[in-house]
Amino acid sequence: MLAASVYRVTVRGRFSGLDEKTRAYLSREQPEHDIFKSAYTTEGTFTYDTDIRFFNLRYEVRTAEGADAAGKIGLAEAESFLRTLGYGFEKLKVNVVDTSAMWNAD
């Protein structure tokens, strides 16, 4: 059995088609979603800019299936989160870093 590695998965994207009510809500809540309050967590951390144009979702994913699988898991979580809250999005990009490799570096 392979040991699980720990990956930091960042999903970046752009808001799309937000109505005024949603945009106003995000604007009011933005200080709680500032990039300086973000962390990589299993449930994900949602951050976005003050112009309500771009966002990041940061996940800590543990899997023995490799970086590609971790990226797919993070992307699926991000899409589910955004759809559940009704936030339109486009141009999602995924970045994966294997933190286990950093810990094991000589």
Average pLDDT per run of 10 along the chain, which is 106 residues long?
Answer: 85 96 96 88 94 96 95 97 96 93 60
Distance of CA 83 to the CA centre of its chain: 13
For residue 50, the one-letter residue type is T
Residues 6+ apart with CB under 8 A from 78: 11, 13, 44, 57, 59, 92
Strands (E), 1-106: 5-15, 45-48, 54-63, 89-98
pTM recorded for the entire structure: 0.89
Q: Which domains does the chain have, with CATH numbers?
A: 5-98 (3.30.70)
